[in-house]
């Protein structure tokens, strides 16, 4: 069946095949947004017009400057007269830093357990299965709320809790990949040559499964961002005087009818960040699946 042709306003013939460029444009946009978000958070001290805790009660709850608000306050002000735009920049820094740290903790913990289960098998596999079943049986949000209520709130505990989110996915993935790699000829040859298992796994097996791990990290990262935002929204994450995107939404929810920008601005940033990471992760996974296997 021939592709249907169309004519653009200036008379050139085009086909619907040109719409295949759309995914590439979407991915390029997602990557661009992530780069801008990371750079904006890293350079918040330079880019922010105000400090994230600078208050001016004379201009509290004023709309953004493009809606008639004070000049230079691009996203308006909050209930304490703080610049929402500046707070979004600093919140982006804190949220991304905590989410990245939590993701790396979870990936490292899950990867280690996966390697141990694949190497020793037997008892280690039973322990891993029991831990996975335990985590799956309890909603993680309930577990996090209980841990924060029992042990108290701290940045260290908060990051550890974020790291525990999704570790079982890495453990199961790594276990399966390592078991498959152990059946390959080069691993058997290295074992016969007397190489230590740690050297085989770290220098030969791990680089070969690194692509799959990176894909899983990009797929889990949006969940970490949303979990951090949700806990901070409930007042159990980042605490004042620090700030985060979830904390900004939690503070601004009381003014949604009178000052919607206090919650919409950070909420939009969370949505775009999670969406961009998800799109990039899906694209990277498709690229990895399309690569010919050796």
The chain-wide mean pLDDT, for the chain, equals: 83
The pLDDT tens digits for 25-79 are: 888 899 999 999 999 999 999 999 999 999 999 999 999 999 998 998 999 999 9
CB 83 within 8 A of CB 73: yes
> Any idea which architecture 44-290 has in CATH?
Orthogonal Bundle (1.10)
Indicate if the pLDDT at residue 2 is higher than 70: no
pTM as predicted: 0.80
Q: How far is CA 119 from CA 30, 84, 113, in A?
A: 38, 51, 10
Give the residues across from 35 on adjacent strands: none
79 to 53, 65, 201, 243: CA distances (angstroms): 12, 16, 54, 15
Adjacent-strand bridge partners of 14: 6
Share of the chain above pLDDT 70, in %: 90
Query: What is the pLDDT at residue 292?
Result: 55
């Amino acid at each position: 069946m021939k592709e249907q042709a169309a004519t653009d306003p200036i008379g050139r013939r085009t086909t619907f095949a040109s719409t295949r460029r759309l995914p590439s444009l979407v991915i390029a946009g997602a990557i661009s947004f992530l780069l801008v978000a990371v750079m904006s958070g890293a350079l918040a001290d330079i880019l922010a017009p105000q400090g994230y805790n600078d208050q001016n009660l004379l201009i509290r709850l004023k709309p953004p400057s493009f809606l008639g608000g004070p000049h230079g306050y691009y996203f308006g002000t909050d209930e304490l007269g703080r610049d929402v735009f500046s707070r979004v920049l600093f919140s982006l820094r804190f949220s991304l830093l905590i989410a990245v740290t939590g993701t790396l903790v979870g990936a490292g913990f899950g990867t280690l357990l996966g390697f141990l289960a694949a190497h020793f098998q037997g008892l280690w596999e039973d322990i891993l299965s029991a831990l996975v079943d335990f985590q799956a049986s309890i909603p993680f949000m309930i577990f996090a709320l209980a841990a924060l209520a029992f042990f108290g709130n701290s940045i260290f505990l908060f990051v550890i809790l974020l790291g525990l989110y999704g570790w079982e996915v890495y453990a199961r993935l790594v276990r399966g990949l390592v078991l498959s790699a152990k059946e390959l000829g080069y691993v058997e040859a290295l074992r016969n040559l007397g190489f230590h298992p740690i050297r085989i796994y770290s220098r030969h097996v791990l680089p070969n499964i690194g692509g799959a791990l990176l894909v899983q990290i990009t797929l889990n990262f949006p969940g970490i961002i949303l979990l951090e935002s949700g806990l901070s929204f409930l007042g159990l994450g980042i605490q004042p005087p620090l700030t985060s995107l979830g904390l900004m939404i939690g503070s601004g929810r009381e003014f949604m009818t009178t000052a919607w920008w206090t919650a919409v601005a950070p909420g939009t940033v969370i949505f775009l960040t999670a969406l961009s990471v998800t799109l990039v992760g899906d694209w990277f996974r498709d690229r990895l699946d399309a690569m010919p296997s050796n």
